[in-house]
Structure 1
Amino acid sequence: MCVSAVSSKNFWLYFRRRRQSKETPRAAGEIYKKGLSPEQQQQQQQQQQQQQQQQQKQWLQRPQLQQQQQQQQQQQQQQKQQQQQQQHRHAPQLCQR
């Protein structure tokens, strides 16, 4: 669920940037050149998002994970380790003494 939210957010940011960068009424009309109604456009976008989600699921199933996912896992592990170190800071010192 998390992953899909992030990807859709990124998609909208990218979409906005593209529209801003063009900034011409003709460019805005380019979408309608395809002859798609707004509803059909939404359907297309939803399909794209679903495809992205499916691809991400496939990646998760594969033995080789994407680097991003590995990095996220590493970060999570580091955070856990830091928390553990903070919790057990006093105990090892006593052991050393």
Structure 2
Amino acid sequence: MRPILLIIRFYSSFFIANFCITLSALGLIEYYGSRAHLIITTLIWYKILTMAVILYTVFIWKKHELYYYQSLGITKFKLIWSTSAIDFSLYLVLLYVTYNNL
């Protein structure tokens, strides 16, 4: 339970930035309406690239805070993998719901 809470604590520091990217993609799907299937692939790559940029920025910005997580047994790889999985899963669910409600 403790590692999950630590990962959530780490993810909460950049959740807003990731969620804004998600909302912009969902807004584009709403804008395109019935032609949204034409941009789905582009939006998925858009999310992947922006997630990479945000994670890179966070790892530079919170370089010293990473030692805190490492001393508690959570590696950088685990932080990257878990936060990316959480964020991308949320993105895909919202993308699916938005696309099916057009």
Please say whether Structure 1 and Structure 2 have the same fold, judged by a TM-score greater than 0.5. no
Normalized against structure 2, the TM-score is what?
0.43
Could you say which structure has the greater relative contact order, defined with CA pairs below 8 angstroms and 6 or more residues apart?
2
